[in-house]
Amino acid sequence: MTIEWRYTVREELGVLSLAGFLGAEAVDRFAGAVGWALARGTGPVILDLTSLRGWSVGGRLAVARAARRLAAEGRRLELAAIPADGSHPAVLVHPDLPTALAAHGVPAGGQREWRSDEWPGTGPAERPRA
């Protein structure tokens, strides 16, 4: 079991949304999605976990590594809608994505989006240009 991801740019921040289960087998895919976010955005990255069914200890450690990776580039990681177990690394946590966006004063619209092929409820993803 792995994750699917979607990255959306909204003004001065990015939203990296995950679906599935963030376990050991999904850590590399998650790290790749974080790299995608680093290359295509600026400002904080809100990690939207609304569609995440859960995460293992390894998944939580991967989130902590992502926070350090972003911090090394002068960016901050924030979490929105953590899984029900309530455990999380030491980063800012919002109860849900709308609250996280409101905290940054981000209006609706004006966004670009990329996602993995099987993101729930959508058609084909925009393919990266080589």
Mean pLDDT of 53-73: 93
15 SS3 class: strand
pLDDT tens-place string over residues 93-128: 778 888 888 888 776 666 778 788 888 876 555 544
Asked whether the beta carbons of 27 and 59 are under 8 A apart, the reply is yes
Which domains are delineated in the chain? 3-115 (3.30.750.24)
pLDDT tens-place string over residues 13-41: 999 999 999 999 999 999 999 999 999 98
Give the C-alpha separation, 111 to 11, whole Å: 7
- Amino acid (1-letter code) at residue 66: A
Residue 42, pLDDT > 60, answer yes
